[in-house]
Structure 1
Amino acid sequence: MRALSSQARPARLALAAAIGLLAGCGESAAPDDVVDPVRAPGIARIVPAGEALSGAHIPTIDPATMVDAEIQKALGAGPRCDFRYTGGGKPVLAMNMQPDGTASGGVMKLNGNLVPLSPAPADATGPEGRLLLTADPVRVVVAPAADDEAEDREGMRRREATMMFEIGQNLRVGYRGYMDCGAAPPVRSSRQ
């Protein structure tokens, strides 16, 4: 076996470090999904949309992730659908569901507050499977991908979906993600 030259040794160490860093990238949680147990945030308060948006810089607002305790506080128990940005992320929109597949209410976290959402009139929902919720001036439309088959996972039916989020005439943005629907809230971990 020959000894490594002094020039090859640093290059191999750099390569090993890079491989080590890349190996850990695929398993890490999204920054907004990490909960610091020492400084775990309290449950957000429920406020009207106008109050939640008061003083906010509207063009930069995105729906924030919610923990299960926040969703339970706003919606209670029962069948619901959750929209998530990523397959492993926490919900950014939760909706109570009726047996016929229509939403009876929902909640979203904006500017650090929980905002209750009401279903739009039946004639305003549009194509089958599309859900429309509002809380003036907020409007949210969730549409499952037409070409995506629902996948059963841990008692939940998962489909790819698109969520359109609007605040009056000042903001309109779309998000691609996943909609999980089930007869009961998903069981994930004790930290939720």
Structure 2
Amino acid sequence: MSSPCGPEHAPAGDVGAALMMIDSRLKAIYDDKTRTDAEEQALTDQFAASLGPTGVDDMLDGACTVIYMFMQWLRMAYEDHGKDVVECVVPNLVATMRRMPRSVRPEVIPTMAGLLVAAGTGLSPGLWRKQYGYWTKDEMNPLEATALLLAEHINRLADDRDFATRMITEALFSVEEG
């Protein structure tokens, strides 16, 4: 039976913009930081402001699409080893988010865990979230952190700092060519 939260009903959004934000943050983490957190946040805020209201919605949908794709890749990787993605990924990411109180407020961690579970079980994280109302300002950093932590988890599993973003980029190009 099809769910109204199935990925086939979800808008893909601006996956490119979401991926650019994730890649930028990953590079800041992996490389020697030349910018401070305040400078990085100012650039992020400036970029988000340049998108306008519909652009921000598209980027939110894009971030949810990326989270879905990351969780599907992780699901397949863990299933190849007889493990469950929700069991292996969600507790680790929740514990990491709990150690990030400046970026991820404790009250939004259950929502981010729900997004991960939704994506890990084949549902659209964006549609799952939207059934509870519109995104809040307090959920923006945690959503970005969730996507970033998933990308970093995948990169560690693949032992390749660019694997997660390259995987999504290659998927986008194959869709455009097909």
Structure with the bigger percentage of helix? 2
TM-score when normalising by structure 1 = 0.27
Of Structure 1 and Structure 2, the greater strand share is in 1
Structure with max Cα Rg: 1
By relative contact order (CA 8 Å, sep 6+), the higher-ranking structure is: 2
TM-score by length of 2: 0.29
